[in-house]
Structure 1
């Protein structure tokens, strides 16, 4: 099975290169550093590194408190962070600058993986959330590199998608020393995928340990003063294609009752910033953008947040947050950022990427679910009109966030044990 998988990877490699080129048309960073995806880069010249793999922005954000703990507890160990997407790369540089060595994770080809491991020479590999690459895992075992999956999650959809490769993945997962699962449900799915139950521990979600950026609350308050402190404001964060139109239609409904309301609209992917801005303007909204106007004025109806890694101050400045990727079958995004700031949350029907967190927030009254885009406007309007309900939801959301903290400390204990072994 492994040989068939590897042959298939070789056969699709030309398509992967074409995909990189095609993505580069829309986003220039895809053109740069593409040899790294085959393990070609200048060796950093160190050994005994601690290697963290976080595929994109969400995983980098989740790993931030753990990476900071690694830097604190192992100040002499070189730290390597790999990502797959340019947005993830940008977030790594924004958070850590030159204090870490960043390189793209190579495709799961034996020679590419071998070159990569030979150059970074890790003494521990930490894979964040759900990245199971058989050749990479087998190569780590062959070289005696302990491998941990931290903040491990596995959606029902991913479990179904892995079914044809289950025998191969079972063997790959046996290369892993520890699977630190986010929840009991995730742990059960890893067992179904073939992981040894002795490997699996339920640790909790590192995203509950994420730090609130210094000054985010103060910056949010300053923005509110600029555009009008009493003005109704809601944010649609991490939206995808197929969601912005529903969000803008919801805002039209809000404006009919609350004509001074402001929508903060943050598309998930940078290559869609201009497209979304054009759509907003074409519908007749008076529009600001983060890149040009910095902060919307009292006359603006919509502000497009065309910048990465700057959502926390905007969450802090909002009365209600809608978290995207949930009106379309993407699976939803991080509901904990607004929850940490006591902001009530709305989500759509598709939240399988954050299943238990979202369910917990809804159950405790910190979030509510809308069945589809047509209900977003009425529910948002109802919340914006009901100050008492917003305050109760915000307090409940913040209580859930505080109650679940501590996963990073538990993961660091597991890391310490691995390194001592």
Structure 2
């Protein structure tokens, strides 16, 4: 079969027609996040790359993928000392995360171009990467096919594909199969992911594990979280603290209702809820909801919580490790309602007992392994009452918390090693 050099005409026409809507969306989202209105030219392939050594290009769409890629980025810089790494993103929060994580001048940061033939060609011509690495589920037809036409190896790494997504992709088999076939190789997180990707047309698929298990926990952020806890305990000793991490729209109402139940039950002192919405543009909405429900609110950006605080809103970026490090129990957002869940590995690496809801299909393998190991408790039917019961069970039982903490450490340790496997895979296709 002859490999196409670009996506089918109907895809290219459709994308061209969508561009004005995409620009309007950037402007609209820029009301709350000014970063969406910056570096617009990069989204059309106009990226400035200073002269220097050869480039390995790694695309991580947003915050979660960017954090997952961190151990691999450091390993690439170590193994290819004459190279630079270009990290591209789709979102300002992903870009801001890279900016905060890396001080090495060999790390370059930008936006990935829209999947327009001209924009992708312009990007590849400016950057001239020796190798392209796409994180997780970034399957863009023109990006992959034009990379192949430019004779650049492109690998899909840390790849995951849920059964739900595989069924969706299968409906567009004529579009997706040539694209997946054009990938030089795939490093899948699990055997199930590898099987689904192979069935859709990917070749040279191997199981390399999940990079998120190789996460580096920032000791400075851990120390900050422990300092916060010490400050709280100095004013009100033994006050239990629980965290709702990376919550999505609609979940805060459930969490606040559960918190009301916890606060109504003896004994004193009542627990403190640390609430951290997933997206920064929702910080104010979450704050308004907390106050509307009659809770006493303080915000990370304004003041430290005191004995009167019911809810501390984590309206900061890049401090999730600190929040995990100050609490007794963490509820993983995105799993209470059908959003597919969030990465729970970083929380487990911080040694925190976890609670997840039924909706973890984006991280199904990790969530199941955490549950089976005892690191996580799953609430199947989420109501304020069932959530409050799960949280209270862990808050009120120190022995159970310690067992869950030990299980979390074993869970993370058992799954490490993806970075080394990916380096070996990369070495097969990139020889400096």
TMscore range, shorter length? over 0.9
> Which residue of structure 2 lines up, in the alignment, with residue 114 of structure 1?
121
Q: Give secondary structure in 1 for the equivalent of 2:305.
A: coil
Note the aligned Cα RMSD (angstroms): 1.5
Q: Give secondary structure in 2 for the equivalent of 1:149.
A: strand
C-alpha contact (below 8 Å) 1:44/1:120 kept by paired residues:
no
TM (norm. structure 2) is 0.93
Which of residues 350, 359, 373 in structure 1 aligns to 2:383?
373
Which of residues 251, 256, 261 in structure 2 aligns to 1:243?
251
C-alpha distance in 2 between matches for 1:420 and 1:27? 40
> Which residue of structure 2 lines up, in the alignment, with residue 296 of structure 1?
305
Q: 1:252 aligned to 2:263?
A: no
Which of residues 329, 332, 349 in structure 2 aligns to 1:340?
349
Aligned runs of 1:12-411 on 2, under 5 Å? 12-46=18-52, 48-97=54-103, 99=105, 100-196=107-203, 199-228=204-233, 229-257=237-265, 258=267, 259-293=269-303, 295-370=304-379, 371-374=381-384, 375-411=386-422
C-alpha contact (below 8 Å) 1:47/1:122 kept by paired residues:
no
The offset of 1:260, in angstroms, is 2.7
Q: Give secondary structure in 1 for the equivalent of 2:31.
A: helix
C-alpha contact (below 8 Å) 1:247/1:373 kept by paired residues:
no
The offset of 1:373, in angstroms, is 3.4
Moved more, 142-151 or 220-229: 220-229
TM (norm. structure 1) is 0.96
C-alpha distance in 2 between matches for 1:15 and 1:222? 46
Q: Give secondary structure in 1 for the equivalent of 2:182.
A: coil
Moved more, 24-33 or 122-131: 24-33
The offset of 1:67, in angstroms, is 0.5
C-alpha contact (below 8 Å) 2:262/2:270 kept by paired residues:
no
The offset of 1:227, in angstroms, is 0.6
The offset of 1:31, in angstroms, is 1.1
C-alpha distance in 2 between matches for 1:383 and 1:399? 19
The offset of 1:313, in angstroms, is 1.5
Q: 1:46 to 1:142 in 2, by over 3 A?
A: farther
Q: Give secondary structure in 2 for the equivalent of 1:25.
A: coil
C-alpha distance in 2 between matches for 1:165 and 1:21? 31
Structure 2: tracts of 5 or more residues without a match: 1-6
C-alpha distance in 2 between matches for 1:298 and 1:178? 55
The offset of 1:97, in angstroms, is 4.1
C-alpha distance in 2 between matches for 1:73 and 1:39? 28
Q: Give secondary structure in 2 for the equivalent of 1:328.
A: coil
C-alpha contact (below 8 Å) 1:44/1:119 kept by paired residues:
no
Structure 1: tracts of 5 or more residues without a match: none
Count of residue pairs the alignment pairs up = 418
Cα offsets for 1:60-117 (capped at 9, x unmatched) = 0100100011111222212100000111011010101463211111111000000111
